[in-house]
Structure 1
């Protein structure tokens, strides 16, 4: 299903005085043939304005472009249920985070050797994988940051399975110079009880040296904002939820995990998930005394 967005400038005049002007504004729209009156009403609803007397639109262009989650526009419905895998596959030698060890995989029992243990025609493979918990797409529990925090085995599955997903498509919205995703960028959604998923497009560098340099991250004040707003989980398709070039400070991890908000890093394919309407799952195994482990993260879209 093709989605559309309107690009335009606007002037808004209020009935009780004052006004508001916008240039280069973009807004999700339900159809390509929307007229200016309908677009003006969507704009007012998206901005949450009251006592609007007049809306003037200029240079309106409606183009085929994925929705970004504008308020007042329903998420595109899917006729059939679809699962979108948001995890990077794990294989021997995979470099997830530059500088950290890659996993190794070796046999404990080969198929050939197993034939002597089982009935004719029956064989098995038993393999050993040695890897850091921070491998592939993984989830951080509070124990990862805090010695007295909840470990993987203590996590409540209700906070990991079938969460309402609020996906922020930010490829062209995060500041490439400052790199940090700020609270203001996330302030137009109700994220209480939701998985907040930050789509930056940085996944394109995964497995390459570029992945660890100049990456987008969540600022500390934005992490505090998401905690205050009641988010349950925060995920990103970047090398880290924090700025790994900051000299060791980790305000996003510290704030989120202290509040029991799970962190999922190294997501992929978030561009395929609608801004609203999907369900997100990322459940690790219940390992006691362990803080971080790979997950099979996925989004469910449609009925």
Structure 2
């Protein structure tokens, strides 16, 4: 068995969505101060690093993190490599077998410098949502910060995927992951009322 970590590291100074909460870690208590232990404190956005979007993120009536079905985030996943594209839609999957695929990860290779928040990345087109919905996909993950254009305010792809019952995983590290089938484990924290959650995402390969 081999575990492949597809999570972005969390560190002070890491790139975050412009204007969002910057990641912070510090020791609230040191061993010297407490007499026994170091205790850390973190400050971060619910969309820091590799994370899932709960529907509540973009839909006031959508489910929140603690209401999500955990089985979405554990199980067989197919990784598809679609590099060097401005956008990805249904036509890009011509000839790609998605029979029986419930979880799908798309490797775009378009976030080229992980130390900087990108100016632009491969985005999805709205027609991909009904295509994947018809195939039975329930979780879609990408190696970029958003399924939509980075400057989008309407988030049409978020809404189109939601309409098809497809949940979203963003910001995965897939640069060293080959196409094929794996087992995905990417569980969100049980955050009451939250709109998203960082995840420690791994692929298991037997």
> Common fold, TM-score beyond 0.5?
yes
Q: What's the counterpart of residue 159 of structure 1?
A: 72
Query: Who is 1:113 aligned against?
Result: 33
> Which residue is equivalent to 1:129?
42
TM-score between the two structures when normalised by the length of structure 2: 0.91
Residue 149 in structure 1 maps to residue 62 in structure 2: yes
The answer (yes or no) to whether the contact 2:107–2:142 under 8 Å persists in 1 is: yes
The verdict on how the C-alpha distance between 1:291 and 1:97 changes in structure 2, with shifts beyond 3 A counting, is same
Moved more, 195-204 or 97-106: 97-106
Secondary structure, aligned partner of 1:184: helix
Paired with 1:140 and 1:125, the residues of 2 have a C-alpha distance of: 32
Q: In the TM superposition, what is the alpha-carbon distance from 1:242 to its structure 2 partner? A: 0.5
What SS class does the counterpart of residue 132 from structure 2 fall into?
A: helix
1:138-287 alignment runs, 5 A limit:
138-162=51-75, 164-172=76-84, 174=85, 179-187=86-94, 188-190=96-98, 192-209=100-117, 211=118, 213-246=119-152, 248-268=153-173, 270-287=174-191
**1: distance between equivalents of 2:114 and 2:42?**
21
Looking at structure 1, the residues matched to 58 and 16 of structure 2 have their Cα atoms a distance apart, in angstroms, of 19
Q: 2:151, 2:116 → 1: CA distance?
A: 17
Aligned residues: 205
Deviation of the 1:278 alpha carbon: 1.0
Q: 1:209-267, CA deviations, whole angstroms, 9 ceiling, x for partnerless residues?
A: 5x1x2310111111222122211111111131101234x23111112234432211111
Q: Give the TM-score normalised by the residue count of structure 1.
A: 0.63
Q: Which runs of 5+ in 2 are unaligned?
A: none
**Paired residue secondary structure (1:84):** strand
Give the C-alpha shift of residue 201 in structure 1: 0.8
Q: Is the 8 A contact 1:196 1:233 kept in 2?
A: yes
Map 1:66-77 → 2, pairs under 5 A: none
Q: In the superposition, relative to structure 1, how do residues 255 and 87 fare at CA in structure 2: closer, same or farther (>3 Å)?
A: same
- Point out where structure 1 has 5 or more consecutive residues left out of the alignment: 1-80, 116-122
The match for 1:296 among 191, 200, 205 is 200
Relative distance call for 1:193 and 1:141 in structure 2 (3 A) is farther
Q: Tell me whether 1:96 sits opposite 2:43 in the alignment.
A: no
Asked which structure has the greater CA Rg, the reply is: 1
Which consecutive segments of 4 or more residues in structure 1 shift more than 4 A? none
Q: Is the 8 A contact 1:134 1:294 kept in 2?
A: yes
